[in-house]
Amino acid sequence: MSSILEEIETKIAGLKTSATKSNIGVVRETGDGVARIEGLSDVMLNEMIEFPSGVFGLALNLEETEVGAILLGDTTKVSEGDEAKTTGKLLQVPVGKALLGRVVNTLGQPLDDKGSIKTETFYPLEKIAPGVIKRRSVSQPVQTGIMAIDAMIPIGRGQRELIIGDRATGKSTIALDTIISQARLNKAAEDEGDKNYRPLYCIYVAVGQKNSNVARALDVLEREGAMPYTTIISAPASDTATNQYLAPFAGAAMGEWFMDNGMDALIIYDDLSKHAVAYRQVSLVLKRPSGREAYPGDVFYLHSRLLERSARIAEEFGGGSLTALPIIETQAGDVSAYIPTNVISITDGQIYLETDLFYQGVRPAISVGLSVSRVGSAAQIKAIKQVAGKVKLDLAQFRELAAFAQFGSDLDAATKARLERGQRIVELFKQKQYNPIPVEEQVAVMWAMQNGYVDPVRLTNNGKHARHTAPDQIDP
């Protein structure tokens, strides 16, 4: 008997107990992708909430007696009376090089039937942007392969450059061209064994797009050999407003992994107009007070906290960078609307695409007068800097003279020469889509233009001839 008691006492002494604390509430109401829960008194903002069906929610509204949570899975599996418990975790997505070449949803789950993504690293969707001390000035170029941008509106690594314009003016095409250009540079550096070149990895976030558009973008990137360096995050128009709202933050988290590990990444948000609409829908369903155009009061903060996560980090903190190209769609060219003005004020410049130029055959339809890069020539290589300054001045003078020239034909020889030079530059900057031009070819062509070597060529074939003769057929 005593041996039995001793054995029991030994087992009791060796028993390890651990208490787990979880806060439990009850679903009071559900609908439109939102659950209102009573009793979760200890829940954190943006904390994951678990329901019995295995569906998770995200706590967005913390009120006196209840919590408003957006649902991340199948909303039909959550019903009134269900228990809801806190998890003590924030929403995280998988990050790392394993995501390159893949198409994933907002939560980082694969959509391309290529099997699971093997990564053990996860980043939270929401993260405070790097502070002033961690940052350094932008000085390394992002070669887009689009001559008008690389010459006049240069983009640097760590910059936020807005692409803005009406629908169907070539905004997404500029973004895809930039990805293709990076892929070609990355591949060339790999083939040559260039250890000094820092590859630029790309993340394309498609928010509220048609599935056919996302499929077309994927097809282009695969055809051009860009997918090994690219991740596509798809939250199409058929997806829930919750997923569309969270997708850009998931993309930013994936890009931050490269930045934190001393690498360079480029992220494209296509587009933030639809992102703002999705956030408005979520906010209205959560019964948050609405402001101008029914957007919630913190819609500016929505985009500022997202775009401020792009930066160039100082060497002592890793020296990585995250470059952002947000896209905004305007209505009838109105850049003074609510969301466009918000994002213009957050970014380091904008590339404005004009509908009139697009229909005149000037493609990419970049308006030189309304487009600007606040980083400027600091993000250009010396060769481009030398030839582009004069080209930009000539084009500005051409725009000014062209307005006066239409009132009369009696022009002096110098004015006619300037007008002709300006028309040649306009032709030179025309470019086929998905055909980025290498930087060395850009320099040669602009040098030939600047020094009058292309003047004898007939104007209609000017741009085509200039690129066919560059760089080896131009006699210096």
pLDDT digits (tens, 9 = 90+) for 403-459: 777 776 677 888 888 888 888 889 999 999 999 999 999 999 999 988 888 878 777
Q: Which residue did the predictor score with more confidence, 26 or 405? A: 26
Tokens of 97: 């090089």
pTM over 0.95: no
Q: Which residues are known catalytic residues?
A: 374
Q: Considering the chain, what is the average pLDDT of its residues?
A: 90
pLDDT, one tens digit per residue, over 135-186 is 999 999 999 999 999 999 999 999 999 999 999 999 999 999 999 999 999 9
Domain ranges within the chain, ordered by starting residue: 24-89, 94-379, 384-469
Ramachandran area for residue 287 (φ above 0: left; ψ -120 to 50: alpha; else beta): left
Mean pLDDT of 221-239: 97
Tokens of 389: 């300054």
Show Cβ contacts of residue 105 under 8 Å, excluding neighbours closer than 6 positions: 111, 233, 234, 235, 239, 243
Cα 337 off chain centre by: 21
Domain 24-89 coded CATH 1.10.10.10: no
What percent of the chain clears pLDDT 70, i.e. is strictly above it? Answer: 94
- 94-379 and 384-469 share one fold: no
**Would you say residue 239 has pLDDT above 90?**
yes
pLDDT score for 390: 80
> Which residues, in sequence order, are bridge partners of residue 135?
313
Picking from 469, 457, 466, the residue whose alpha carbon sits closest to that of residue 430 is 466
- The mean-pLDDT minimum among 265-279, 338-352, 400-414 falls in 400-414
SS (H, E, C) the chain: CHHHHHHHHHHHHHCCCCCCCCCEEEEEEEECCEEEEECCCCCCCCEEEECCCCCEEEEEEECCCEEEEEECCCHHHCCCCCEEEEEEEECEEECCHHHCCCEECCCCCECCCCCCCCCCCEEECCCCCCCCCCECCCCCECCCCCHHHHHHCCCECCCECEEEECCCCCHHHHHHHHHHHHHHHHHHHHHHCCCCCCCEEEEEEEECCCHHHHHHHHHHHHHCCCHHHEEEEEECCCCCHHHHHHHHHHHHHHHHHHHHCCCEEEEEEECHHHHHHHHHHHHHHCCCCECHHHCECCHHHHHHHHHCCCCEECHHHCCCEEEEEEEEECCCCCCCCHHHHHHHHHCCEEEEECHHHHHCCCCCCECCCCCEECCHHHHCCHHHHHHHHHHHHHHHHHHHHHHHHCCCCCCCHHHHHHHHHHHHHHHHCCCCCCCCCCHHHHHHHHHHHHCCCCCCCCHHHHHHHHHHHCCCCCCC
Superfamily of domain 94-379: P-loop containing nucleotide triphosphate hydrolases (3.40.50.300)
The architecture of the domain spanning 384-469 is Up-down Bundle (1.20)
**Would you say residue 467 has pLDDT above 90?**
no
